[in-house]
Copies of this chain bind each other. A is one copy, B any other.
Amino acid sequence: MKVLTLLEAVTDGLRSEMAADQSVVVFGQDVGVEGGVFRATAGLQKDFGESRCFDTPLVESGIVGAAIGMAVAGLRPVVEIQFCGFALSAFNQIANHAARIRNRTRGAMTAPLVIRTPYGGGIRAPEHHSESIEALFGHTPGLKVVVPSTPHDAKGLLISAIRDPDPVIFLEPARAYRAIRQQVPEQSYALEIGKAKVEAPGDDLTLVSYGAQMIEARQARAALAAEGRSVELIDLRTIYPFDAGTVVESVRKTGRLLVVHEGPQSFGVASELIATALDKAFDALLAPPARLTGPDVIVPLPRGERHYLISAEQVIAEARKVLAYEP
């Protein structure tokens, strides 16, 4: 075991897969010499050589497109897009090719690539550095979308993502990069994609979140516990294919659901989870499932960002409402 930040756990995950599998190559803007703008690839070029970890020109679409070709030719490319907002210039390659090559060729070809990119706000950054676009990827058939919230999950899920036979969008919560330190096993381990985690059991309310927002979700659960309210906290971890089973099972038990996340509300993750819970747990519902999400606005620049981000207090207040609802 060693104590790592989420950021260090990402590097550790890359390192262990690169050591284990020659076909894993890491590239993107400034990932080589510089070791990444967040330092997620620090030391990899030095230790594995320029052919295993290298810098590319400023070409998001080209990076993903080339990775598709490499993957079809048998490699396991892991590319970094500096901020998820810049992945939009690669959206055509991601949605129209990476996500489709297996279906297009009836399984004759696959694109087992990983696109790593930081997402989310709260880092006092310029425009386009704070977006949460997981739902855009989740709505795109053929992609897997993973979001770790802890160092331990970050390493285990990244390793699974690299080994996955299909393209995986690996969204790293920038705000949590250095916020949490945790014991992480030295050796390599894989955590199953598509499985949510019941982080803490509870009976009165099911609270679902993921990524950096888990920080406030945990604080809220603790505060509510102090009030004698028992909240079951679920870390979704995979946006697609999401773990409806775990969420529904919990809702059938608690009868109350609150989904909290940063991204825009409309056509977002909370809406999907609520519609799904409804399909399968309508009769068990004691209160209308609730959403506490970012509004349908553009993430404000640093001086206004507090109006956008969701605080523990807001989670607590919303949870109280759901708990107080009388059928």
Contacts and interface: CB of A to CB of B under 8 A. Distances in A.
Interface of A: 61, 85, 88-89, 91-92, 95-96, 99-100, 103-104, 127-128, 135-136, 138-142, 240, 242, 264, 266-272, 274-276, 278-279, 282, 287-291, 296-298
Contact of A240 (B266, B271, B276): B266
Contact of A298 (B91, B103, B282, B297): B103
A297 B141 contact: yes
Nearest to A294: B141
A275 B271 contact: yes
A100 B128 CA distance: 10
A276 B104 CA distance: 35
Nearest to A94: B88
Nearest to A96: B88
Given A274-B278, A298-B141, A267 B103 contact: no
Given A61-B89, A279-B291, 8 more contacts: A136-B140, A266-B272, A272-B275, A274-B278, A275-B291, A278-B288, A279-B288, A279-B290
9 closest cross-chain pairs (CB), A and B: A282-B288, A271-B275, A139-B267, A89-B92, A88-B92, A91-B91, A274-B275, A135-B267, A271-B272
21 contacts: A61-B89, A88-B96, A96-B128, A103-B297, A103-B298, A104-B127, A104-B298, A135-B139, A139-B139, A140-B264, A141-B296, A141-B297, A142-B298, A266-B272, A267-B271, A270-B275, A271-B275, A271-B276, A272-B275, A278-B278, A278-B289
Contacts of A91: 88-89, 91-92
Nearest to A287: B282
Contact of A267 (B128, B142, B269, B278): B269
A166 B104 CA distance: 37
Contacts of A140: 136, 264
A270 B127 CA distance: 31
A298 B97 CA distance: 11
Nearest to A100: B298
Nearest to A239: B267
A127 B268 CA distance: 27
Contact of A139 (B268, B274, B287, B289): B268
A242 B271 CA distance: 14
A293 B299 CA distance: 31
A242 B88 CA distance: 24
A290 B61 CA distance: 38
Contacts of A95: 88
Contacts of A266: 138-139, 240, 242, 272
A136 to B, nearest CB: 6
Contacts of A275: 270-272, 274-275, 289, 291
A242 B272 CA distance: 17
A323 to B, nearest CB: 15
A267 B137 CA distance: 10
Contacts of A287: 282
A103 B296 CA distance: 13
Nearest to A267: B139
